[in-house]
Amino acid sequence: MVLKVFFPSCCSSADSGILIGRWISEQNSAVILAVVHFPFIPVQVKQYLGEVQRVTKVSVSVLGSWSNSKQEKEESLSEFLEDLGTIFCHEPWIQISKEGDSKFWSCSTLQKHSKNPQEEEIILVYYDQRKVMLSHLHPPLDTAGQGAEDASKLSAIFDTVARSRVLFMTDRYDEGPIKLTHWQSDGVEASIIVELMKQASVPACMLLTFLLSLVSGICRSRVLKFWPLSFLWSKLSTCEQLGHRLQHLQVISSNKKAQNQNQLMRKANIFVSLLIDVALGILLMSWLYRKNRIGHLADTLIPVADHVAEELQDLLQWLMGAPAGLKMNRALDQVLGRFFLYHIHLWISYIHLLSPFIEMILWYVGLSACLGLTVALCILSDIIALLTFHIYCFYVYGARLYCLKIYGLSSLWRLFRGKKWNVLRQRVDSCSYDLDQLFIGTLLFTILLFLLPTTALYYLVFTLLRLLVVIVQGLIHLLVDLIDSLPLYSLILRLCRSYRLAAGVKFRVLEQQDGKPLRLLMQINPLSYGGVVQTYRLPTYSFYPRDSWASLCKKLFLGELIYPWKHKGEKQN
Amino acid sequence: MAEERRFRSASGARIALRRRQHSASCRELAVRGPRLQLRSLSAATSAVWLAAYGLFALSENSMVLSAAIFITLIGLIIYLHFVKIDQESLLVIGSLGIQVTSSYASGKESTTFIEMGQVKDVVINEAIHMQKVIYYLCILLQDPEDPQGVSEVVPLFQSSKPRLDCLIEVYKSCQEILEQRKTAPQSS
């Protein structure tokens, strides 16, 4: 069987000593964590290892000996090292020796109780201890639910190094009896900024929790739950987005420490996402208020609304004439056209009534952009919805009229053929009608049929306009969704410290020499950007189409009202 | 020890197979495809610029020319970094696993490492593609629940597409190492 020795590259230049680490017998591999230098007392070493084992729950033991002779090879040293094998009994006892500055080390094992004394092949795998300790292995999604026994070999190695963090806390300036060499033995790393932030985060979290409880208390009060207000809140997407962000803030400001990697990354992603959102919002706000652009915007809003209303009037005049060469029923045409024109007239008057207040309203509403770019986009979407309210009304009128017509037509068609809809049995049954019923029914059927093109044309035009508005709103919400769900912290981590997010490892074959063990370098293979986004995507109250294309077309044909976007939390009807 | 032999790919292009034995249980097999030819690069660039010059002559807008240069540069970078695979290699380390590497013309390397515990076998499969029957080498991954089942098939050498003679060489080399894990005695 091949013996695999995972050697940390930081210990390559360490002085002679004994190797400590973990022996994984199922895989016949030894993960070396540190080198203990002479002089040491074996009893103290065993005590220390026992303590480490208790704290980290990793079975650390003495695995072998390491000799780094800068001069000639000393015979007495090699015998001494072999004798150590009897003090720290471990099967198999690994002996690695390095001469001078040679790259090629000799590695041998001592087996006392082996049944077959043949030489087994040894593979020496170098690994970067710091990177492996900090890295988080992402298993493929289908094996994510496996138990500990099925854990892959690599995850066992990563696990061993990650859990032995406490072993790396002693450096060579410590006054203990044991002198170790590992990646931090030249001095334990720490950062003042990180420590300060950790100290400052506790009171900051408490303050944030207090403020959030106040805000959510206000939101939950009975005053805001009366019928007109609650209806308004449910329709405005700004409130939805604000509620979502409030939830995020609650997640960040909770006092519980994150249990595992996923929760930690989630918290960090939410924090960075909020920060960037607010920063972009403040940038937008400063741009809007700089040269009184918001005043200019308010000034152009009324002319734009007027222009839209005028275009609609032209459209209706066109429909009342002979649109696209089709011949409409003149009377119905005039009625519908005048009805809608009157509505537009009402709408224009309403807008002109509001015009002195628009600038002030917009100025104050624009201030709320400091809550985030997503909030600003949601406000934009709501403003569009409010400004195109008349299009929505026209769509509802046209759809209802068309729907009534279609149902009337289908029912009278059944009458024409002598059939009836049986409500009890939910099917079409034959029925004998009186002569006058048939007469009136057929007359009405003919009237409705010949009036169909006019109504259908109005319905078509207004449905297209409504769909246009819906598509624009949908695009804005898609953008908001993207900003909400993008895991920015993970992406930046993948860019700057790519070894933290590992999809696997890669091996590189180093120079070989005959007779010496195979030398490999194990490097971390980082997760791809697509994998990062997929794994760490933040959940959102996403907007997605409620109906499939087929049912949408059916609804359009029958004239039923369509509400194409569905929130995640809405009940199915 | 390294040896190199020339073969042909499924579409007739010249490829080279290089075998290196690092140790008794470690072998590296690399298939190198044809390099980017200066001829085809010049032809593509000239075609794009001629078309751009024709458009410029029609429309008198100099933005067309700068747009054409921009498109050529971006297209070349994308092609070299994401599309053109120079070399595909297979590193088989008995008792550790199999590593599949693709090196692109811009120097980028994309690597996947499959542990030996997950590898069921390495086989040559045949596929019917349009009017041809092509052979490809693939790694069969073990299904954790079902010891006889195959959970995934990982095809190798997809961009160089060697022919059967080259695949047989690679197959023999791989099987020599895979057999070692069956005959190796279990650790006590």
Q: What is the mean pLDDT of residues A226-244?
A: 80
Which one of A28, A143, A525 has the shortest CB-CB distance to B111? A525
- Rounded to a whole number of angstroms, the distance from the CA of B32 to the nearest CA of chain A is 18
Quick check: B144 and A150 CB within 8 A? yes
Residue B20, H or E segment = strand B14-23
Predicted TM-score (pTM) of this structure:
0.83
The residue out of A268, A285, A302 marking a domain boundary is A285
Burial of A239 from C-beta contacts in 10 A (0-12 / 13-18 / 19+): middle
Q: Is residue A521 one of the residues assigned to a domain?
A: no
Q: Band of the pLDDT at A114, cuts 50, 70, 90?
A: low
Residue A23, H or E segment = strand A17-24
The residue out of A285, A304, A335 marking a domain boundary is A285
Q: Is residue A571 one of the residues assigned to a domain?
A: no
CA distance B96 to A9: 19
The CATH number covering residue A42 comes to: 3.40.140
B68 interface with A at CB cutoff 8 Å: no
Residues A264 and A317 in one domain: no
Residues A161 and A247 in one domain: no
Helices vs strands, H then E, count in chain B: 3, 9
Residues A327 and A470 in one domain: yes
pLDDT digits (tens, 9 = 90+) for A84-112: 777 777 778 888 888 877 888 888 887 76
Residues A116 and A204 in one domain: no
Q: What is the pLDDT of residue A159?
A: 86
Which one of B91, B95, B118 has the shortest CB-CB distance to A2? B95
Residue B38, H or E segment = helix B38-59
Q: Is residue A542 one of the residues assigned to a domain?
A: yes
Quick check: A518 and B26 CB within 8 A? yes
CA distance A382 to A376: 10
Q: Which amino acid is at A406?
A: I
The ranges of chain B with pLDDT < 50 are: 186-188
Q: Is residue A224 one of the residues assigned to a domain?
A: yes
Residues A13 and A97 in one domain: yes
Q: Which of A2, A27, A28, A150 to mutate to test the interface with B (most CBs of B within 10 A)?
A: A2
Q: Which residues of A380-414 are buried (b: 16+ CB within 10 A; e: fewer)?
A: bbbeebebbebbbebbebbbebbbebbeebebbeb
Q: Is residue A24 one of the residues assigned to a domain?
A: yes
Q: Write out the residue range of the structural domain in which residue A265 sits.
A: 189-285
Q: Which amino acid is at A45?
A: V
Beta-carbon contacts of B75 under 8 Å, excluding residues fewer than 6 positions away, are none
Q: Identify all chain B residues contacting A507, using CB atoms and an 8 Å cutoff.
A: 91, 93, 96, 99, 113
Task: Report whether pLDDT(A521) > 90.
Answer: yes
- Rounded to a whole number of angstroms, the distance from the CA of B84 to the nearest CA of chain A is 19
Q: Band of the pLDDT at A143, cuts 50, 70, 90?
A: very low
Domain parsing of chain B, residue ranges = 2-36+83-183, 38-82
- Identify the closest residue of chain B to A511 by CA–CA distance: B22
Task: Report whether pLDDT(A142) > 60.
Answer: no
Q: Is residue A34 one of the residues assigned to a domain?
A: yes
Q: What is the domain count for chain A? A: 3
Q: Evaluate whether A209 touches A254 at the Cβ level (below 8 Å).
A: yes
- DSSP alpha helix (H) spans, A220-329: 227-235, 237-252, 261-290, 293-320
- Chain A residues near any Cβ of chain B (below 8 Å): 1-2, 4, 25-26, 28, 115-116, 121, 123, 125, 142-143, 146, 150, 152-154, 504-507, 509, 512, 517-518, 520, 525
pLDDT digits (tens, 9 = 90+) for A302-361: 888 888 888 988 988 888 887 777 788 888 888 888 888 898 899 889 888 888 888 888
Residues A165 and A271 in one domain: no
- Identify the closest residue of chain A to B21 by CA–CA distance: A512
Q: What DSSP designation does B79 have? A: I
Burial of A328 from C-beta contacts in 10 A (0-12 / 13-18 / 19+): buried
Q: Is residue A563 one of the residues assigned to a domain?
A: no
Q: Identify all chain B residues contacting A26, using CB atoms and an 8 Å cutoff.
A: 187
Q: Is residue A173 one of the residues assigned to a domain?
A: yes
- DSSP alpha helix (H) spans, A372-515: 373-387, 389-416, 435-485, 488-496
Residues A174 and A223 in one domain: no
Beta-carbon contacts of A14 under 8 Å, excluding residues fewer than 6 positions away, are A35, A37, A66, A68, A181
Q: Which of A107, A507, A520, A527 to mutate to test the interface with B (most CBs of B within 10 A)?
A: A507
B22 interface with A at CB cutoff 8 Å: yes
Q: Which of helix, strand or coil describes residue A128?
A: coil
Residues A296 and A353 in one domain: yes
Q: Identify all chain B residues contacting A121, using CB atoms and an 8 Å cutoff.
A: 23-25
Which one of B91, B95, B144 has the shortest CB-CB distance to A507? B91
B148 interface with A at CB cutoff 8 Å: no
Residues A240 and A379 in one domain: no
Residues A280 and A290 in one domain: no
Quick check: A123 and B112 CB within 8 A? no
Residues A173 and A217 in one domain: no
**Confidence check on the interface: ipTM exceeds 0.90, yes or no:** no
Residues A352 and A394 in one domain: yes
The residue out of A142, A160, A181 marking a domain boundary is A181
Say which residue the tokens 């100025």 belong to. Answer: A363
Q: What is the pLDDT of residue A322?
A: 74
Q: Which of helix, strand or coil describes residue B154?
A: strand
